[in-house]
Every structure is written in C-alpha cells, then in structure tokens.
C-alpha cells in the first residue's frame, strides 16, 4: 500500500482558527519533555510566533499520541504530533479507540503533513542478557506512558510476536521515568518510539552502559505485519554513546495533526511558514531534516486538510487520491 512506501521518501533525506483557538492563541499538543515531540512542538510554536501573522502559539506537555488525537478531535488543541499507527486507529475507530463510552472513530482528524519518522528503541542495560523480543517474557518492561503512541506501537509489536501483557510485568512509564527506572534497576527493558537521538536515552547512556535490541528475522516480519504504516529502519551506530553497531528496528511516521474545522488560511499559512523556515526547526532537532512535502504525501495515514491539499498542489505536487478529504 502507499503508506507502507514512506520509507522511500525518507531515503532521500539526510537524516533519518482552530476550534481551541482564542484571540489568535494556538495550543500545540506534544508529549513528555524527555522525547522529541516537545522540542519539535516548541519549534513549531516559534514558527507561528515569528512567521504567521495574527497568531501566537505555545507547546503543551501531554501524554502524546492517543491523548493528542482526542485533544484535536474535541477542539482542546489546534495542532498536534501523533504517531501514524495511533492516528489511523483513531480515524477508523480501531485499536485503542471505539471502546465502551468512546466514539467509534474520530472522523474529523486531518493531516497537514508528516514531521519525521519515529524509531522504535527497545533499550536495556548492556549486561541484561536481553537480545530479542522473546527475551522479554517474565521481565519488567516499560511499554510507554498511558495515552502514548509508544504504548500503542509496543503492544502491537509484542502481540504480533505472541507476547501479551500477561507474559511480562508491564510498566506504563514516560520516557524520563523509563530511563530512571532502567538506571536504578527497577525495570529490565523499556520501549521508546521517538525520533533519534532523544535526550532521555542520551542521559541514561552517560551513567549506564546501554544496549538497544535489534528486531530481526521473524520478529521483524511479524512486527511489520502489525500495521500498514510500519517500515523497517536502521538506527545508525554511534547515535547513542556505547551503541557501536547498527540496530535494525521498526519505524513509524509522525503526523502533523489538525481538525477538519481548522481555518483554511491558518492551515495554509502554517504549512508555508513551516517549510519556508524548516532550518529553524532543524536547529532544534535534526529529525526535522525529514519534514518534507515528499514524506507528507508518501506517509500520511489519513486524508489531508483541504488547505494542505491546496498548498501541495500550488507547489507542484500531485496529491494521492486517498489523501483527498471526504466531501
């Protein structure tokens, strides 16, 4: 399918009045401070503050992808970052969405583009003996914060390999908490789905010898089958101190998420400002090297906002039919 081919768009890069708006003030829903969403969202806020007339913006700490999808749908945030597999579940009412007391789906979600690709990091200490997903059975494992895309991805990858929460002692910790628990010996391994490098793992690697587990062979194939937005990626040796070999793992795009109700001119102006000033975002985090129209059109898992369609077409891009918003 088209969105499985997003990895080809990444290969060409050097590195791997919204409903909540009040008087021009915009809320950007991100994640925890130990990941990549928060600094990226902060950079987006500065793009708006400096280059979009009539608006100011601020990045907000949140529980990340699941929470952010709901925030956008309800109008509690104007722009959000969220993992593509979570966004697809939210839009279609599957997985973590559409349960008892919840709407079956969030059909007003729209994409402006794709920020970058997350890389699944399965981190443990160097002497843990954990070398595969199968080795997690019986272990204490952080699967990510409640409401995070990390937990959605981790659970999907584990379940695709026949491992459920009954087989592990799962802990729902955010990135900083996961790093601290690994450092202190309170857990055996932890999942991150994040744009590398991320500060919480870098900090952990300064005090402990870490090992990032490769997902290979049948475990990789099973994991890739868990979502059409997953693709195999390589975390380059040297990304983190002490990790001296390439790591094979699974990547997931991150969607720049808005509501269908967002003002057309605001959506268009934000996209124009973002792409025109992307060097300002790259200066905050190198993952923004991947923030390109090509990746947006290859990897968006849900339809685009109408203003995004107009922006890409105005700039000479063909928009795939499945990204056109429903009438």
**Parallel, antiparallel, or unpaired: how do β-strands 79-83 and 56-60 relate?**
unpaired
What's the pLDDT at 103?
56
Q: What is the pLDDT of residue 158?
A: 98
List C-alpha distances in Å: 278 to 36, 206, 286.
16, 30, 10
Residue for token pair 């910790």: 173
What's the pLDDT tens digit per position in 302-324? 999 999 999 999 999 999 999 99
pTM: 0.83
Q: CA–CA separation, 294 vs 283, rounded Å?
A: 21
Give CATH for domain 118-252.
3.40.190.10
Enumerate the domain spans of the chain. Answer: 2-115+255-323, 118-252
User: pLDDT tens digit string along 94-124?
Assistant: 887 876 655 567 899 999 999 999 999 999 9
Q: Alpha carbon of 32 to those of 63, 102, 150, 181, 319: distances in Å?
A: 7, 24, 12, 16, 33
What value does the mean pLDDT take over residues 24-48? 95
Radius of gyration of the chain (CA): 19
Q: Would you say residue 72 has pLDDT above 80?
A: yes
The C-alpha atoms of residue 251 and residue 148 are separated, in whole angstroms, by: 16
Q: Which fold has domain 2-115+255-323?
A: D-Maltodextrin-Binding Protein; domain 2 (3.40.190)
φ, ψ for residue 194, nearest 5 deg: -160, 160
Measured distance CA(170)–CA(225) in Å, rounded: 23
């Amino acid at each position: 399918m088209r969105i499985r081919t997003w990895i080809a768009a990444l290969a060409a890069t050097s590195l791997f009045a919204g409903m909540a708006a009040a008087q021009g003030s915009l809320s950007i829903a991100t994640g925890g401070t130990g990941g990549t969403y928060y600094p990226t969202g902060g950079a987006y806020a500065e793009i708006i503050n400096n280059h979009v007339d009539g608006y100011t913006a601020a990045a907000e700490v949140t529980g990340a992808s699941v929470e952010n999808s709901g925030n956008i749908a309800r109008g509690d945030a104007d722009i959000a970052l969220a993992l593509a597999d979570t966004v697809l579940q939210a839009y279609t009412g599957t997985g973590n969405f559409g349960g008892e007391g919840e709407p079956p789906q969030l059909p007003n979600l729209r994409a402006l583009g794709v920020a970058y690709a997350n890389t699944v990091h399965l981190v443990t200490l160097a002497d843990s003996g954990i070398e595969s997903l199968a080795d997690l059975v019986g272990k204490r494992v952080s699967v990510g914060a409640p409401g995070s895309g990390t937990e959605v991805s981790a659970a999907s990858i584990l379940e695709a390999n026949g491992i459920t929460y009954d087989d592990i002692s799962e802990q729902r910790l955010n990135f900083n908490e996961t790093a601290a628990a690994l450092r202190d010996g309170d857990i055996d391994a932890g999942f991150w789905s994040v744009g590398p490098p991320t500060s919480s793992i870098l900090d952990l690697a300064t005090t402990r010898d870490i090992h990032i587990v490769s997902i290979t062979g049948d475990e990789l194939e099973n994991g890739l089958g868990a979502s059409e937005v997953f693709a195999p990626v390589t975390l380059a040796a040297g990304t983190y101190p002490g990790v001296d070999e390439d790591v094979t793992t699974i990547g997931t795009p991150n969607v720049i998420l808005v509501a269908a109700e967002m003002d057309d001119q605001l959506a268009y102006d934000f996209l124009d400002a973002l792409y025109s000033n992307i060097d300002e975002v790259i200066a905050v985090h190198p993952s923004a090297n991947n923030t390109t129209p090509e990746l947006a059109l290859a990897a968006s898992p849900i339809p685009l906002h109408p203003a995004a369609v107009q922006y890409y077409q105005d700039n000479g891009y063909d928009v795939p039919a499945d990204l056109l918003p429903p009438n």
